[in-house]
Amino acid sequence: MKGIRVHTAGGPEAMRYEDIPDPTPKAGEAVVKIDAAGVNYIDVYQRSGQYKQATPFALGLEAGGTVTAVGPNVTEVKVGDKVAYTGVPGAYAELAVVPAQRLVKLPPGITTRQGAAMMLQGLTAHYLACSTYPLKKGDTCLVHAAAGGVGLLLCQMAKLRGARVIGTVSTDDKAKLARGAGADDVILYTQQDFVAEVKRLTDGKGVQVNYDSVGKTTFEKGFDCIAPRGMMVLYGQSSGPIGPFDLGILNARGSLFVTRPSLNHHIPTREELLQRTGELAGWIRDGKVQLRMEFEFPLKDVGEAHRALEGRKTTGKVLLIP
Ligand code: NDP
């Protein structure tokens, strides 16, 4: 089969489209023929060496497709099932071998492409809005990079939970998309001072939660727009990692909370994986949450996909088609 591997971390050219032996499933594993793999910002951190990995390594942490073989003792899925998964490396490929426990059977009405598009970013938006800071009516949240993959989903889920949403984006076109996803107000943070704007939009009160995936360029200032006893949720670093952090800021800005969460810790068991995915798939099937899947690249053009994502050219989900 063909797949993407990185032998030395680096730029998009570090990803090689190679012949890799077809996988065979061991006990508890299934082989999935991949219809679409999701591209996520974590793939950029891994490829570039920002998140260290032993080389060579396979990229890609989510996909949707069809089960073609199962190993002994697999009860969760059978050959022919349409499935999706996240959290298992090697999705940038024609075939993947996946612990059956991590596979989710797609309900009728959800395609394998939608499955690939919803898992990593959708489950992230779900845990951020429902668990890290369970949004409720009366809350206002700030969503940075609101037209991105996670951003568009988080805006929609925050609205579903009754919160007011203030989004930040870099362009007018992205502002339109964020508004379409439910953002009540959108700030062009590349042109406007987002702290001053948040204060203006909240009559000086600030937001209950600041969902920050941008990191370096937004994190420190972000504390200035959180209401007393509110929460800073740093869940990514698309502009670069933050520097050392002084906990004294939390006291000075009003007994704030700070957390740095990860999806893996929110789907540790099959029960929690199925609970979150079930709710997410239901919202998608019922049209309450829309997946934006405008950007598709053939697997062999993975470099182009990464350049587009890093270059802030994409909105919503980016898919690779083997
Ligand atoms: P996005 O589609 O959101 O792409 C990243 C966006 O970040 C860009 O479109 C851009 O939006 C914004 N951005 C701001 N500054 C920069 C910069 N200097 N370079 C590049 N982009 C910049 O990606 P994803 O939806 O895949 O991921 C969003 C974030 O969420 C990432 O930081 C990722 O690591 C994190 N994440 C964290 C998870 C967790 O569990 N902790 C799980 C999943 C994702 P704009 O042009 O509007 O500024």
User: In this structure, is residue 148 part of a structural domain?
Assistant: yes
Give me the pLDDT at residue 294, please. 86
User: In this structure, is residue 145 part of a structural domain?
Assistant: yes
Q: Which residue, judged by its Cα, is nearest atom 35 of ligand 1?
A: 236
Q: 94 and 202: one domain?
A: no
The ligand 1 atom at the shortest distance from the C-alpha of residue 121 is 43
Last residue of one domain, picked from the residues 207, 237, 260: 260
User: In this structure, is residue 168 part of a structural domain?
Assistant: yes
Q: What is the DSSP annotation of 5-23?
A: EESS--SGGGEEEEE-PPP
Measured in angstroms, how far is the CA atom of residue 71 from the centroid of ligand 1?
37
Domain span including residue 146: 136-260
pTM of this structure = 0.98
Q: 80 and 173: one domain?
A: no
What is the CA angle 235-240-243, rounded to 5?
85
User: In this structure, is residue 45 part of a structural domain?
Assistant: yes
Kind and range of the H or E element at 70? strand 62-70
Write the CATH number for 97. Answer: 3.90.180.10
Q: 81 and 170: one domain?
A: no
Q: Which residue, judged by its Cα, is nearest atom 12 of ligand 1?
A: 145
Q: Is the C-beta atom of 122 inside 6 A of ligand 1?
A: no
Q: 164 and 94: one domain?
A: no
**Cβ–Cβ under 8 Å, residues 127 and 266:** yes
Kind and range of the H or E element at 179? helix 172-180
Write the CATH number for 173. Answer: 3.40.50.720
User: In this structure, is residue 106 part of a structural domain?
Assistant: yes
Give me the pLDDT at residue 40, please. 98
Last residue of one domain, picked from the residues 220, 241, 260: 260
Last residue of one domain, picked from the residues 238, 260, 282: 260
Measured in angstroms, how far is the CA atom of residue 305 from the centroid of ligand 1?
14
The ligand 1 atom at the shortest distance from the C-alpha of residue 45 is 34
**Cβ–Cβ under 8 Å, residues 140 and 164:** yes
Q: Is 52 helix (H, G, I), strand (E, B) or coil?
A: coil
Which of the residues in the chain have pLDDT under 70?
none
Distances (CA, A) of 168 to 59, 233, 285: 29, 15, 28
Q: 9 and 92: one domain?
A: yes
Q: Which residue, judged by its Cα, is nearest atom 19 of ligand 1?
A: 239
Q: Is the C-beta atom of 307 inside 6 A of ligand 1?
A: no
Q: Is the C-beta atom of 97 inside 6 A of ligand 1?
A: no
Q: 114 and 190: one domain?
A: no
Q: 19 and 103: one domain?
A: yes
Q: 17 and 110: one domain?
A: yes
User: In this structure, is residue 268 part of a structural domain?
Assistant: no
Measured in angstroms, how far is the CA atom of residue 285 from the centroid of ligand 1?
25
User: How many independent structural domains does the chain possess?
Assistant: 2
Measured in angstroms, how far is the CA atom of residue 290 from the centroid of ligand 1?
19
User: In this structure, is residue 141 part of a structural domain?
Assistant: yes
- Name the strands in the sheet holding 140-143, side by side, starting at the edge strand that comes first in the sequence: 185-188, 164-169, 140-143, 207-212, 226-234, 257-259
Chain centroid to Cα 133, Å, comes to: 17
Q: At residue 314, what are phi and psi to the nearest 5 degrees?
A: -100, 160
Looking at the DSSP assignment, which residues form a beta bridge with residue 212? 234
The ligand 1 atom at the shortest distance from the C-alpha of residue 240 is 18
Residues 176-201 as b/e (b if ≥16 CB within 10 A, e otherwise) read ebbbebbbbbbbebeeeebbebbbeb
Q: Is the C-beta atom of 239 inside 6 A of ligand 1?
A: yes
Q: 145 and 251: one domain?
A: yes
Q: At residue 37, what are phi and psi to the nearest 5 degrees?
A: -115, 140
The ligand 1 atom at the shortest distance from the C-alpha of residue 168 is 47
Angle between helices 149-160 and 172-180 (to 10 degrees): 40
User: In this structure, is residue 269 part of a structural domain?
Assistant: no
Q: Is the C-beta atom of 236 inside 6 A of ligand 1?
A: yes
Q: 167 and 106: one domain?
A: no
How far apart are the C-alpha atoms of 122 and 65, rounded to whole Å? Answer: 17
Give me the pLDDT at residue 222, please. 98
Q: 220 and 142: one domain?
A: yes
Q: Is 91 helix (H, G, I), strand (E, B) or coil?
A: coil
Looking at the DSSP assignment, which residues form a beta bridge with residue 297? 320
Q: Is the C-beta atom of 48 inside 6 A of ligand 1?
A: no
Q: 106 and 12: one domain?
A: yes
